[in-house]
Structure 1
Amino acid sequence: MSVFIRRLVTPFVAAALIGVATIGQAAPARAGGVDALAVGECPFTNTLCLFDGTRYTGQRITLSGGGICVSLVNQGWGERARSVINTNSRSAAMFANDDCLGGPFQVSGNTGIADLDAFRPKSVWAP
């Protein structure tokens, strides 16, 4: 299985293709609806966008691919994400460890979380 990753580095977008393992469905946590401003910050379909600033600001990494675990540590994003948007209709999950195991922090489908508070993901399961 593969995942497409796009990073916003200054105004340019770089793309990489990564093979990763699959895992099962995550347990629920919390998420809020995506406001109109946030939609413009993640204009991709079926994608998980993570931002290093709250309220969907700062640099962005985008993940899509279909039911895969992505190490944010390997992408230089371990503990960087401060907000997230999920444009997929299926839930995504973020984890405090680097292998998508343990208690997940769920991001419901078609929602966003403008401030992750103290939670700093090291891996994500992208639908």
Structure 2
Amino acid sequence: MLTRGLRSALLIAGVSVATLIATATVATAGPASVSADPCPSRALCLYEGSNFTGEMFAATSLNPAGICVSLVDHGWGDRAHSAINTHNTSAQMFMNDDCVGGPYQVPGNSSLSSFGTFTPESVWVPYRGS
């Protein structure tokens, strides 16, 4: 029988490992040629240029709660100027690197050909499975 302290320590360790695994696998991203790689299903795709031109960055979540993806950490801070959301749920873009503050919505199953002067530093994407 485990003592209360040992159970708490194991629970915290388990949550920490689960969080580490979740954050290591929840977002998939990478640049691709727009003509060679269309936006994958249930993803938020950001494009370097307006009208879906230039390199593409695709983000999706394997975490049922959704996930905040730092564009800065992926070399995409201030680079995105248009987006396609192939998920049926809205995604949000933020002008800061931690998904807080007033979001710029990208409705489900929609596209935005230009953000104007808005330049996202992070995005929140919904669970890929929902």
The bucket for the TM-score relative to the shorter chain is 0.7 to 0.9
Q: Which runs of 4+ in 1 moved over 4 A?
A: 9-12
Letter in 1 for 2:115: L
Tell me how far apart the structure 2 counterparts of residues 47 and 85 of structure 1 sit (CA, whole Å).
Answer: 8
Tell me how far apart the structure 2 counterparts of residues 47 and 53 of structure 1 sit (CA, whole Å).
Answer: 18
1:45-101 CA-to-partner distances (Å, cap 9, x unmatched) read 100100010000000010111410000000000011000000000000000000000
Tell me how far apart the structure 1 counterparts of residues 101 and 111 of structure 2 sit (CA, whole Å).
Answer: 22
Q: What corresponds to 2:67 in structure 1?
A: 68
Q: CA RMSD in A?
A: 2.0
Tell me how far apart the structure 1 counterparts of residues 43 and 114 of structure 2 sit (CA, whole Å).
Answer: 18
Does the C-alpha gap of structure 1 residues 56 and 90 become closer, same or farther in structure 2, counting only changes over 3 Å? same
Identity %: 44
1:95-119 CA-to-partner distances (Å, cap 9, x unmatched) read 0000000000000000010001000
| Unmatched tracts of structure 1, length 5 or more | 13-39
Q: What corresponds to 1:6 in structure 2?
A: 30
Tell me how far apart the structure 2 counterparts of residues 107 and 69 of structure 1 sit (CA, whole Å).
Answer: 14
Q: How high is the TM-score relative to the length of structure 2?
A: 0.71
More helix by share: 2
Residue-pair matches, total: 99
Q: Alpha-carbon deviation of 1:41?
A: 3.6
Q: How high is the TM-score relative to the length of structure 1?
A: 0.72
**Which of these two proteins has the greater Rg computed from alpha carbons?**
2
